Amino acid sequence: MQTQLSYAPLVEVETEVLAVLAADAQTSKAADAKPQPVLLIADAAVTAAAAAVLTSGEYKAGANETLLLHSPAGLAAKRLLLVGLGKQAKINADKVRNAAGTAVRFIKPRGIRELAFALPESELLPAASSAKAAVEGAFVGDFDPDTYRSDRTDKSIESFKLAAPASADHAALETALAEAVILGESQNFTRTLVNEPGNKMTPTILGQRAAEMAAEVGLGWEVHSTEKLHELKMGAFWSVAQGSAEPPALIVLRYEPEGVSEGPVLGLVGKGITFDSGGISLKPGDNMEKMKYDMAGGAAMIGAMRAIALLKPRVRVIAVICAAENMPSGTAQKPGDVQTAMPFGDQPGKTIEIINTDAEGRLVLADGLTYARQLGATHLIDAATLTGACVVALGYANAGAFSNDEELWTKFDAALVASGEKFWRLPLGEEYAEQIKSEIGDIKNTGGRWGGAITAAEFLKVFVDETPWIHLDIAGLAWVEDSKPYIAKGPSGVAVRSILEWARSYAG
């Protein structure tokens, strides 16, 4: 998708579709209060073209509500598309992001390949952050998951023009546009990886795709397999991989900006289970096909590293992605087995009693977190589709987050303002840690039904020791269960934007 900025008056913008944002200015809470839709632009000609429908009552400017006007009087644009943001008092950049995605997804099935999007004019919406959000939203909206349909035709938007007031800060908007393109493309790169079926995205292929990306954007990279796992004594990681005919992949990506030799080293660790059958503790057959997306945490780290390499923050970053299949076979681990995780320094590896082989993500992450620390990471963040319990707790509206460090969490929480992604912090505590103590080994890989997302986080906490750490359980948001106006059903690419913004907060 080609993107560009235009500072021409909206009335002069020649395009197939000109999208403008509207909001409901009604402030009364009375039950009989009627919406008061207003356009968030100052152009009198565009306002006049939409005046009749704005006063008719048929359009209320609800969130992502659309209305298309053909041959709008007095405009060079062939069509005028109104996209709602909802209540004017609650508008923010995230609503602009969704509105841009809505506009793109509205025109795609109509065979329209060109869109001009009017930057909203409101004191509540700073121009640069709105521009960045709009372009990100356009890329998110442009993605469709129908990769292998034999009748698939490319319906991608060819041109997205951001129409801004001439008085806007041109330099700031150009920077915002450039950053948004990188973030949008990186999020969609992650979605492309997650969308692949298990037979097209094995651990080996994931390693190849990561290496190709790394070479393209200038990251250092290594991809190892079984021999390296044994060399490093990654018994937890190997215990998951041993049941599959497909070999595991230990993917390491490095970003080392020139002239930066001191300061923090950020460690990004991702769960890359390219297919999760549950192992011997076999999952039910219903919806098992979705378990191709159990590598979404690893894919998010790969996408975040792409964005980091291109945006070049002055902070060192290492990513470790642990990729494997979790399969039942004669060589698969069994409930009751005891595995030994990777040692760290002069500390022996923790012994892990396997209660349920479907609690495999925490096993690969355990060794991944330890390895990231061994490689020099001073601050850690991991992402994983880890527990169904997190979905039970938070539904599909928020992903779960945990942290052992307040300063680290404060930085991540601030990053969410820019990313627009929704994470809800859940607690940690000794009461939960008690649930994963084992009688035969150090810990066990499940702590029972209650508080399952928290006990999983407590399991991971064992392997970070005192290192500042954040755990993101993205099980509920990694896959969009039903299409929304601004995003297609399928992989979401969640966490890429948040991790990037978090990393940038360490760049001084």
Q: What is the band of 196 on the pLDDT scale with cuts at 50, 70, 90?
A: very high
217 Cβ neighbours under 8 A, 6+ residues apart: 306, 309, 310
Q: What is the pLDDT of residue 82?
A: 98
Catalytic site residue from 105, 209, 362, 461: 362
Rounded mean pLDDT of 276-286? 97
- Sheet of 443-444: strand order equals 338-340, 351-353, 443-444
Tokens of 158: 């060819």
Task: Indicate the residue type of 502.
Answer: W
- pLDDT of 433 over the 90 cut: yes
Q: What is the band of 493 on the pLDDT scale with cuts at 50, 70, 90?
A: very high
Instruction: State the Cα–Cα distance between residues 46 and 39, nearest whole angstrom.
Output: 9
User: Is 362 part of the annotated catalytic residue set?
Assistant: yes
Burial 308-330 (b: 16+ CB within 10 A, else e): bbbbebebbbbbbbbbbbbbbee
Q: What is the pLDDT of residue 31?
A: 81
Q: What is the pLDDT of residue 373?
A: 98
303 Cβ neighbours under 8 A, 6+ residues apart: 186, 187, 189, 190, 193, 493, 496
Q: Are 279 and 357 in contact (CB under 8 A)?
A: yes
Q: Are 100 and 125 in contact (CB under 8 A)?
A: no
Q: Are 311 and 179 in contact (CB under 8 A)?
A: yes
Q: Are 420 and 93 in contact (CB under 8 A)?
A: yes
The string of pLDDT tens digits covering residues 138-147 is 999 999 999 9
Q: What is the pLDDT of residue 155?
A: 84
Q: State phi, psi for 163 to the nearest 5 degrees.
A: -95, 115
The string of pLDDT tens digits covering residues 218-260 is 999 999 999 999 999 999 999 999 999 999 999 999 999 999 9
Q: What is the band of 404 on the pLDDT scale with cuts at 50, 70, 90?
A: very high
Torsion sign across C-alpha atoms 487, 492, 494, 497: negative
489 Cβ neighbours under 8 A, 6+ residues apart: 145, 480, 481, 482, 483
Instruction: State the Cα–Cα distance between residues 121 and 465, nearest whole angstrom.
Output: 49
Q: What is the pLDDT of residue 152?
A: 83
Q: What is the pLDDT of residue 151?
A: 87
Q: What is the band of 12 on the pLDDT scale with cuts at 50, 70, 90?
A: very high
Catalytic site residue from 254, 283, 290, 422: 283
User: Is 350 part of the annotated catalytic residue set?
Assistant: no
The string of pLDDT tens digits covering residues 55-98 is 999 999 999 999 999 999 999 999 999 999 999 999 999 999 99
Q: Are 271 and 295 in contact (CB under 8 A)?
A: yes
Q: State phi, psi for 157 to the nearest 5 degrees.
A: -70, 130
Domains defined for the chain, CATH in brackets: 2-164 (3.40.220.10), 187-504 (3.40.630.10)
More confident residue, 29 or 325: 325
Burial 36-50 (b: 16+ CB within 10 A, else e): bbbbbbebeebeebb
- pLDDT of 508 over the 90 cut: no
Beta pairing class for 159-163 and 2-6: parallel
The string of pLDDT tens digits covering residues 301-317 is 999 999 999 999 999 99
- pLDDT of 17 over the 80 cut: yes
Q: How far is CA 5 from the centre of its chain?
A: 26
The string of pLDDT tens digits covering residues 93-116 is 999 999 999 999 999 999 999 999
Q: What is the pLDDT of residue 154?
A: 78
Of 418, 481, 425, give the one whose Cα is nearest residue 453: 425
Q: Are 323 and 273 in contact (CB under 8 A)?
A: yes
Polymer length in residues for the chain = 508
